[in-house]
Amino acid sequence: MLKINLLLTFFNILFAIISCQTITVNSPRGSLVGYHVDYGNDTSQIWYGQGDVFLGVPYAMPPVGELRYRRPVPLTQYPGPSPYNATYYRKACIQPNRNDTSEDCLFLNIWTPKASSTTKYPVLLEIHGGGLTTGDSHHDIRAIVRNLVSKGVVVASIDYRMSWLFYNVY
């Protein structure tokens, strides 16, 4: 399963690099660089539609060190150089039987019909299941664009702390 997820992520990123243009937006926390996808408009095909994608957008300070067993601390600005690179998924939160994880895992992934638009779109927030012990917000970009974004819905998925890193902070 891990190999399949890594392979899908690799091909999604490769496709994004080859066929997509970057897009920059400004927010109160700084600038973000994402990318635009266009799968065409032939609805007889499996994948169609277009949208803007921002992956791995931090929503809180990394819960490491003194913040490890505390409630999330709001982020005041995006870390690192500006604009923040939101073109790839970050590691999932620590969970059993999985190695590609990190404590620094409080990220959002956002898919929108048009990031530069002032149009108000409905928003779907996806909170993955897994019994508060497993899961992540890494999804097939093509399916989200086809089924939701191409129909005028903004989609956000969230990674959150689970298991022993979660229960004692709320």
Interval 94-110: pLDDT, tens: 887 878 888 899 999 99
pLDDT at residue 140, as a whole number: 82
Place of tokens 């997509």: 20
d(CA 93, CA 73): 16
Does the pLDDT value for residue 18 go beyond 70? no
d(CA 46, CA 70): 44
d(CA 7, CA 140): 12
pLDDT at residue 115, as a whole number: 87
Q: What's the mean pLDDT in 122-139?
A: 82
- What is the band of 44 on the pLDDT scale with cuts at 50, 70, 90? confident
d(CA 24, CA 53): 11
Interval 76-89: pLDDT, tens: 999 988 999 999 99
Classify strands 154-158 and 123-127 as parallel, antiparallel or unpaired: parallel
Interval 45-74: pLDDT, tens: 888 889 999 999 999 999 999 998 888 999
Residue 141, classed as helix, strand or coil, is helix
Q: What's the mean pLDDT in 121-137?
A: 83
- What is the band of 144 on the pLDDT scale with cuts at 50, 70, 90? confident
DSSP labels for 96-153?
TT-SSEES---EEEEEES-TT------EEEEE--STTTS------HHHHHHHTGGGT-
pTM: 0.81
Does the pLDDT value for residue 91 go beyond 70? yes
